Chain A
Amino acid sequence: ETGVTQSPTHLIKTRGQQVTLRCSSQSGHNTVSWYQQALGQGPQFIFQYYREEENGRGNFPPRFSGLQFPNYSSELNVNALELDDSALYLCASSFRQVWNEQFFGPGTRLTVL
């Protein structure tokens, strides 16, 4: 059984640029959620995807968008990067029926300069 994987592990961008982060779900999981974790804080929910559609969204602006593919892998896209977007971005997968039992990847550390 393969766990949740994310790429890249680290990324440095400049303000105003766009970034795409990738996530491969744990085998058999059909739901993926993305979280942002600033230093010293708990993870904050960005959005969730199920059957390739956004199924729930936290308090994040539209420049945060996502995709889920037929194989349940997912992307998080952030446009017009701001300095405050610097954070650890976590992807979590789960079964739809027990979506609160989420399996997290190791995260992508994004630094915006």
Chain B
Amino acid sequence: DAKTTQPPSMDCAEGRAANLPCNHSTISGNEYVYWYRQIHSQGPQYIIHGLKNNETNEMASLIITEDRKSSTLILPHATLRDTAVYYCIVGGGADGLTFGKGTHLIIQP
């Protein structure tokens, strides 16, 4: 599976959009980009995934660059409950999800 690079931590004001970047320059053509988050003391939670096109669901939007070497997860109106570690994962095979250290997003009141 391709490796990903994320900033270790980010702050965002409550009510603003949180934009979490992820670099995955070695991604291969059939690998999807997945985002999960883990709120303290809970199991990870699936957020969204995409291959080439931008995706949106009730939780977030995923913007993937045209060359697919990076992506951005957007939480449009961050709340305090969005404080969590966010993991960007690239994969497509049957070898499980490869979690890195993720980005610790802190929503400030």
Contact across chains for B46 and A106 when beta carbons are under 8 A apart:
no
A100 within 8 A of B: yes
Cα of A58 to Cα of B99 in the assembled complex, Å: 12
Contact across chains for B99 and A104 when beta carbons are under 8 A apart:
no
Closest to A96 in B: B94
Contact across chains for B43 and A90 when beta carbons are under 8 A apart:
yes
Closest to A44 in B: B99
The SS class assigned to the B binding surface is loop
Count the A-B residue pairs with Cβ separation under 8 angstroms: how many?
59
| Total contacting residues, chain A, CB less than 8 A | 26
Contact across chains for A101 and B49 when beta carbons are under 8 A apart:
yes
Other A-B pairs, 20, CB within 8 Å; known A42-B102, A45-B96: A41-B101, A42-B85, A42-B101, A45-B98, A47-B96, A48-B94, A48-B96, A55-B94, A56-B94, A56-B95, A58-B95, A90-B43, A90-B44, A92-B43, A99-B94, A100-B92, A101-B34, A103-B46, A104-B43, A107-B43
- Sort A-B residue pairs by CB-CB distance and give the 10 closest, nearest first: A45-B96, A104-B43, A42-B99, A56-B94, A43-B99, A104-B44, A90-B43, A101-B46, A56-B95, A105-B43
